[in-house]
Structure 1
Amino acid sequence: MDDSRVTVLRYGHRPGRDDRMTTHVGLTARALGADRVVFPDNAGQAADTVRGVTDRFGGPFEVELRDDQRAFTRDWEGPVVHLTMYGERVQDVEREVREAHAEGPLLVVVGGEKVPFDFYEHADFNVGVTNQPHSEVAGLAVFLDRLFEGRELEREWADAERRVVPQETGKRVVDPDDADGGAE
């Protein structure tokens, strides 16, 4: 496995309650620089949605379903970051996390339900974004932006069927292979 890789593990998923949030964890991971998301095996709908977005808007990005999330985390070879409001402040540990990530692939654990204490113990870093209650999606977004120091915002996407054209107002989505950029 490429040592520069970042995998986001969504721990736990309560069908009917967490569907949208789990999907947004995957979409945020993809959009903000992670290479892969691992969902619980009961989050198939979220996995399908993220795969569909990747097909339309480009990749590479991997989506995986697993039923052995504790073992997956325990057996991870590389640094593990657990995002939790009880962790050390992201601004105090971001440099140390980047240095650890330079040594191997990084696993970022994002809880969807009560996270067992062994995740806290196994993590190399328990990291809090503001140490206040808020969305795990917001925490993941801030963490990834700090990890990549904003470089993820310049990412180019391969094999995209669609590309959003930034503009001040309105919405413009084009076929990236269209010679004139989809101009109408």
Structure 2
Amino acid sequence: MEIEVVRIGQRLVRDDRVTTHVALVSRAFGAKKIFMTEINPEIKDTLRKINETWGGNFSVEFIEKWKPIIKKKKEENFKIIHLSMYGEKINDAQEKIRKEKKLLVVVGAEKVPREIYEMADYNIGIGSQPHSEISALAILLDRIQEGQQFEKEFPDAKRKIIPTKVGKNVQVKETRD
């Protein structure tokens, strides 16, 4: 399954951290790329540093408008998933979504335009209470991949967390200068 994410909008100041976390969750939970509008360019540098240290080739692309990306991805046979508190329950849709080959997940910041609901193949709600877009993205990505994203190794990682019952264990790969 190929997964990409598009982050639409950003509430100034408050959302630098939230948008960074949307990107980090996208990366850690198996997405290959995130498209971002209205963002702080430092986020791209943060993700580059994460890739260098923790491995992988997750990419960030800045875009001016969200609509051309969604149209392009639809032409490339991606199914569009819009995360919304008002969407279909994840429990009712996850089996069908798992069968898709290419997904573009739309994560809004402020109120998203009505057009996104209409362009989406799936409008998905995670729960029926107000919650964070970060948690909604993590739950969606975990549910549709059934935890398999955590079994994959990130290539070229200089550091790797080794799960332990107690304490912290980080494996550091030696580098030769």
> Which residue of the partner structure matches residue 88 of structure 2?
88
- Matched to 1:59, the amino acid is G
Question: Is the deviation greater in 82-91 or in 149-158?
Answer: 149-158
Pick the aligned partner of 1:70 from 30, 44, 67: 67
The one-character-per-residue Cα deviations of 1:151-176 (angstroms, maximum 9, x if unpaired) are: 01212110111112222233232323
Alignment of 1:69-148 (within 5 A): 69-77=66-74, 78-99=78-99, 101-102=100-101, 105-148=102-145
Structural RMSD (CA)? 1.5
> Which residue of the partner structure matches residue 154 of structure 1?
151
The one-character-per-residue Cα deviations of 1:51-100 (angstroms, maximum 9, x if unpaired) are: 2111110102111111121221133232100001000000100111122x
Instruction: State the distance in 1 between where 2:38 and 2:84 align.
Output: 22
Pick the aligned partner of 1:45 from 17, 42, 45: 42
What TM-score does the superposition give when structure 2 sets the normalisation length?
A: 0.91
Instruction: State the distance in 1 between where 2:165 and 2:94 align.
Output: 33
> Which residue of the partner structure matches residue 4 of structure 2?
7
Consecutive unaligned residues in structure 1, runs of 5 or more: 179-184
Q: Identity over the aligned pairs, expressed in percent?
A: 41
Alpha carbons 1:39, 1:66 under 8 Å: kept? yes
Residue 41 of structure 1: how far off its partner (Å)? 4.7
Q: Which of structure 1's runs of 4+ aligned residues deviate more than 6 A?
A: none
Partner-residue secondary structure (3-state), 1:75:
helix
Instruction: State the distance in 2 between where 1:147 and 1:43 align.
Output: 30
- Report how many aligned residue pairs link the two structures: 172
Instruction: State the distance in 2 between where 1:16 and 1:96 align.
Output: 37
Partner-residue secondary structure (3-state), 1:146:
helix
